[in-house]
Amino acid sequence: MDNVLFAFGLTVIAGLSTGIGSAIAFFSKKTNARFLSVSLGFSAGVMIYVSMIEIFFKARESLVAELGMKPGSWVTVAAFFGGIAVIGLIDRLIPDEKNPHHISKQMKQETHPAGMEHSKLLRMGLFTALAVAIHNFPEGLATFISGLQAPSIAIPIVVAIAIHNIPEGIAISVPIFYATGNRKKAFWYSFLSGLAEPAAAIVGYLILMPFMNGMMFGIVFAAVAGIMVFISLDELLPTAREYGKGHLAIYGLVAGMGLMAVSLLLFL
Q: Please tell me the predicted confidence (pLDDT) of residue 112.
A: 45
Q: Rounded distance, CA 221 to CA 42, Å?
A: 22
Per DSSP, which regions of the chain are E strands? none
pLDDT in tens, 151-182: 777 777 787 777 777 777 777 777 777 777 77
Residue range 132-159: mean pLDDT, rounded: 76
- CA neighbor of 170 nearest in space, from 230, 239, 234: 239
Helix (H, G, I), strand (E, B) or coil at 267: coil
pLDDT in tens, 13-31: 888 888 887 777 666 655 5
- Name which of 142, 154, 259 is nearest 203 in CA terms: 142
- pTM, two decimals, is 0.70
Q: Which comes out higher in pLDDT, residue 49 or 209?
A: 49
How many Å apart are CA 17 and CA 267, to the nearest integer?
27
pLDDT, one tens digit per residue, over 100-124 is 555 554 444 444 444 445 666 677 6
What is the residue-averaged pLDDT of the chain? 78
Range of the domain at 210: 2-266
113-127, 138-152, 159-173, 222-236: range with highest mean pLDDT: 222-236
pLDDT at 7 over 70: yes
Predicted pLDDT at 109: 47
What's the pLDDT score for residue 94?
66
Q: What is the pLDDT of residue 36?
A: 73
How far apart are the C-alpha atoms of 166 and 222, rounded to whole Å? 26
Quick one: pLDDT at residue 201?
A: 83
Domain count within the chain:
1
Candidates 190, 201, 195; CA nearest to 18 is 190
Element (H, E) at 129: helix 118-149
pLDDT digits (tens, 9 = 90+) for 80-98: 999 999 888 877 876 555 5
Residue 5 reports pLDDT greater than 50: yes
Q: Is the pLDDT of residue 212 over 60?
A: yes
249 pLDDT higher than 70: yes
> Does position 35 have pLDDT exceeding 80, yes or no?
no
Higher pLDDT, 5 or 174: 5
Residue 75 scores a pLDDT above 70: yes
